[in-house]
Amino acid sequence: MNRNLTLVTVLFIVLFIGVSYIYVLDNPVEINIQATIGNTTTTTAPVTTTTTAPVTTTTTAPVTTTTTAPVTTTTTAPVTTTTTAPVTTTTTAPVTTTTTIPTTTTTIEVSQEQEEVTINTNSEEVTEIYEGEFTSFDGFEGENQLRLNELVASLPDELRKSVESSVIFVNGCHSYAATILERCPFGVWDSAGTFADGTVNSKWKLSVWVSNKAFANNRGYDTLLHETSHALSYLTRNCINPEGEKKRIEAQEFFGSEELFADALAIYYGGDYAYYRENIVLQDSEREFLDNYIALCCDN
Ligand SMILES: [Zn+2]
């Protein structure tokens, strides 16, 4: 029975739809059909995809290069320097006192023609000044001793002061000179103090002799001046010139000889007589030389 009812219902519905459709087709009507078909909210959760890249950590290990230096072991052996000191042998020599006895050369110049003798020695020792009587001297005469003393006092001051403290002036005929000359000389310069027999070191070292014969021939002063010039020459024998040479030697070479040097000095000091020199006039160069000689070698 239900089945017949359902069938009748369906047939009725179909009949109804068919009739409606024919009606709609003949009467178009705008129909708003809003079908509400449930409210379904679908929440889609955001998919968070986290891609974790693989972390590649490259660790560059520091290259440690260990260079093992070759170990050089230098063993410095202690240097042992053995210095062999020279053997110093100190020999204490015995104190030897050597007394050098200077060789004394005595030069005796004899002028046969001029009757004048010069006895020179190169001794450099200091001669003591003689003080005493002349009467015991070999050849002493004495008749003109006071006259001679007066002439000595009248010598130019410069010349006299250069010699008077050292030299003695004897009026006599020097016996040794007379022997070798074979007659009495006018004058003698005797630095050595020569005895009649030729031996030396008598009391009349550094003596000027002027004989009676010289006075008798009016040559007393000229002879005194010449012999005193020898004395000055001798007393300055150790005088050294700026070149380190003996000025006296230079003078003897300059004038030609000791005798010519004495003659030049005699003229220099006012003499007007020469025993050996050819003239009694000094050239300017000669006077200049003597000026320098006196200034260099004489104290006053
Ligand atoms: Zn002379």
Output the domain CATH number for residue 225: 3.40.390
In a domain, 219, yes or no: yes
Ligand 1 centroid to residue 251 C-alpha, Å: 15
Query: Which pairing describes strands 187-190 and 106-111: parallel, antiparallel, or unpaired?
Result: unpaired
Ligand 1 centroid to residue 255 C-alpha, Å: 13
pTM: 0.62
In a domain, 90, yes or no: no
Ligand 1 centroid to residue 240 C-alpha, Å: 23
Ligand 1 centroid to residue 241 C-alpha, Å: 24
Ligand 1 centroid to residue 138 C-alpha, Å: 20
Instruction: Provide the 3-class DSSP secondary structure of residue 114.
Output: coil
In tens, the pLDDT along 79-99 reads: 433 343 444 333 344 443 444
- Rounded distance, CA 146 to CA 172, Å? 12
**Number of domains the chain contains:** 1
In tens, the pLDDT along 165-174 reads: 999 999 999 9
Residues spanned by the domain of 283:
106-297
In a domain, 170, yes or no: yes
In tens, the pLDDT along 193-214 reads: 999 999 999 999 999 999 999 9
- Rounded distance, CA 281 to CA 272, Å? 9
